[in-house]
Amino acid sequence: MMNYIGVIMFFSGLLVFSIKRSHLLLMLLSLEFIVLSLYFMLYIYLNFLNYDYFFSMLFLSFSVCEGALGLSVLVSMIRSFGNDYIMMFSFLW
């Protein structure tokens, strides 16, 4: 039952990522929601099999590094272009 909640969370994050593709901040937030749903499903899986939770801590540390890297790209883009609209960037044309 709990695994279905994780799958619903994952697909709702993918839906928001595909719908809100005009703002970079909303895309990064939906990616973080997808990572949280994957962590939730990993935790349920490891709990079901009575394994150690070391891999989940490793997954969380990588996801935090990924989030910090995404925010640094967002800040540098806002400083360079003034907004976070994806289609305003000249390097996409």
Q: Give 51-71 as a DSSP string.
A: --SHHHHHHHHHHHHHHHHHH
Split into its structural domains, the chain has a count of 1
The parent domain of residue 64 ranges over 2-92
pLDDT tens across 30-41, in order?
999 999 999 999
pLDDT of residue 33: 94
Angle at CA of residue 56, ends 52 and 60, nearest 5°: 155
pLDDT tens across 3-24, in order?
789 899 999 999 999 998 788 8
- Higher per-residue confidence, 85 vs 40: 40
| 88: CATH | 1.10.287.3510
pTM for this model (two decimals): 0.83
